[in-house]
């Protein structure tokens, strides 16, 4: 018997049809090209939700990171300190700017960038006469980093802090939204994110002039002139009005999605969190995550690949934790500061199905497969 596929995380449109209302408005007004009312309002609504002064709706979270680096002034040969335990989209824009990434280890207590390793890296490069231009921190799987320490370090050394909050929209650190604690924040609306526009991203900041400049760059840096004139390098990064309409509708159900993600995490904690060798991803008391993916580490006889293969045989999707950037073939030649905490998380970690469309019976099916692995040991 072939069961219906259970996805790791897939798009989940609102039951109320909010997205179609905004898409229909775009069609009715013939604003289906880039820019339009949905783009403007999506920027305004998201900025208001996270309490940021300004926002730029873009084609992807990667584009948002790229323009954040450009707004920071990152250029040829500059050092950018970046979380190593992340997806490559965090690090690739550093290369776009011909800058040099230096990868930073994780803190086992948060799974996110280690403040200790961060300061060690800053001191190292200052001694070399290459003071880092920016710190790019990732809020992994909807968990927040130890931001008070990171912010204090960045302020003490006068280094710009960019938050990659692609996975953490709606997550709070001591009551404040991720993406708004540093100088710039980025969000992603890729198909697997907690809310989606099919593809898209947002750059937020309280530096309103810099966000306006980012919008200018994102629209091919077209000068104010009757003819087409370009005095700077531009990019085709602006979000379309149709995509923004989907985003406006998705924003209305973000709280529902976070609630369901939390329920999924708590279900796994209750059903398998006590198994020998199982540890749930760390949720600290100052952290109100969005639980984008429910992740565990396995330190006993059952290994991550055992879980992934067993679920795969039952048409259930799971995956390993991100492979750190310093272990990737493309980035292997760049510096890494740390003690391999992120390598251990990668070796032992697995992301369990976290799709908000899953039913309770789907969850029972998943944990049933997992439990049988322990019964056989």
pTM beyond cutoff 0.75 = yes
Cβ–Cβ under 8 Å, residues 325 and 138: no
The domains of the chain are located at 18-251, 254-375
Contacts of 46 (CB under 8 A, 6+ apart): 55, 187, 202, 204, 247, 251
Which residues are bridge partners to 230 per DSSP?
Answer: 222
Residue 236 is encoded by which pair of tokens?
């085709």
| Interval 119-174: pLDDT, tens | 999 999 999 999 999 999 999 999 999 999 999 999 999 999 999 999 999 999 99
Instruction: Give catalytic status of residue 133 as yes or no.
Output: no
| Interval 183-194: pLDDT, tens | 999 999 999 999
| Interval 254-296: pLDDT, tens | 999 999 999 999 999 999 999 999 999 999 999 999 999 999 9
Hunting for tokens 């790791």 — which residue is that? 8
Given this model, what pLDDT does residue 377 score? 67
Mean pLDDT, residues 207-223 taken together: 96
d(CA 231, CA 229): 7
Hunting for tokens 């050092």 — which residue is that? 79
**Per CATH, which fold does 254-375 belong to?**
3.90.1150
Which residues are bridge partners to 136 per DSSP?
Answer: 82, 162
Cβ–Cβ under 8 Å, residues 322 and 347: no
Which among 70, 133, 193, 215 is annotated as catalytic? Answer: 193
d(CA 214, CA 218): 6
Given this model, what pLDDT does residue 2 score? 59
- CATH topology of 18-251 equal to that of 254-375? no
CATH assignment of 18-251, among 3.30.300.30, 3.30.70.1530, 3.40.640.10, 3.30.428.10? 3.40.640.10
d(CA 118, CA 182): 15
């Amino acid at each position: 018997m072939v069961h219906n596929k259970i996805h790791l995380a897939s798009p989940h449109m609102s039951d109320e049809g909010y997205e179609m209302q905004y898409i229909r408005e775009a069609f009715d007004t013939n604003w289906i090209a880039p820019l339009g009312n949905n783009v403007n309002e999506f920027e305004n609504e998201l900025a208001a939700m996270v309490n940021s002064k300004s926002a730029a709706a873009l084609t992807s979270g990667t584009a948002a990171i790229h323009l954040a680096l450009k707004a920071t002034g990152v250029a040829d040969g500059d050092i950018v300190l970046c979380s190593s335990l992340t997806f490559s989209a965090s690090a690739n824009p550093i290369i776009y700017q011909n800058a040099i990434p230096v990868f930073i280890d994780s803190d086992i207590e948060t799974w996110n960038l280690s403040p200790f390793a961060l300061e060690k890296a800053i001191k190292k490069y200052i001694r070399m006469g290459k003071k880092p231009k920016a710190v790019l921190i990732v809020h992994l799987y909807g968990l927040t980093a130890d931001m008070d320490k990171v912010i204090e370090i960045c302020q003490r050394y006068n280094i710009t802090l960019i938050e990659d909050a692609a996975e953490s929209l709606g997550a709070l650190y001591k009551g404040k939204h991720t993406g708004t604690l540093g100088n710039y924040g980025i969000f992603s609306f890729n198909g697997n994110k907690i809310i989606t526009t099919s593809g898209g991203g947002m750059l937020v900041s309280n530096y309103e002039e810099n966000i306006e400049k980012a919008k200018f760059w994102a629209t091919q840096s077209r000068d104010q002139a009757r003819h087409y004139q370009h005095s700077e390098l531009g990019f085709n990064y602006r979000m379309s009005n149709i995509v923004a309409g989907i985003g406006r509708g998705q924003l209305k159900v973000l709280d529902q999605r976070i609630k369901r993600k939390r329920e999924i995490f708590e279900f796994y904690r209750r059903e398998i969190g006590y198994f020998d060798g199982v540890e749930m991803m760390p949720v600290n008391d100052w952290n109100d995550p969005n639980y984008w993916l429910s992740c565990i580490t396995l330190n006993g006889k059952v290994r991550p690949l055992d879980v992934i293969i067993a679920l795969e045989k039952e048409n259930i999707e799971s995956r390993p934790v991100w492979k750190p950037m310093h272990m990737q073939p493309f980035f292997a030649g760049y510096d890494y500061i740390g003690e391999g905490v992120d390598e251990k998380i990668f070796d032992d970690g697995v992301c369990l199905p976290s799709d908000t469309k899953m039913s309770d019976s789907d969850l029972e099916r998943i944990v049933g497969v997992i439990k049988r692995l322990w019964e056989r040991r």
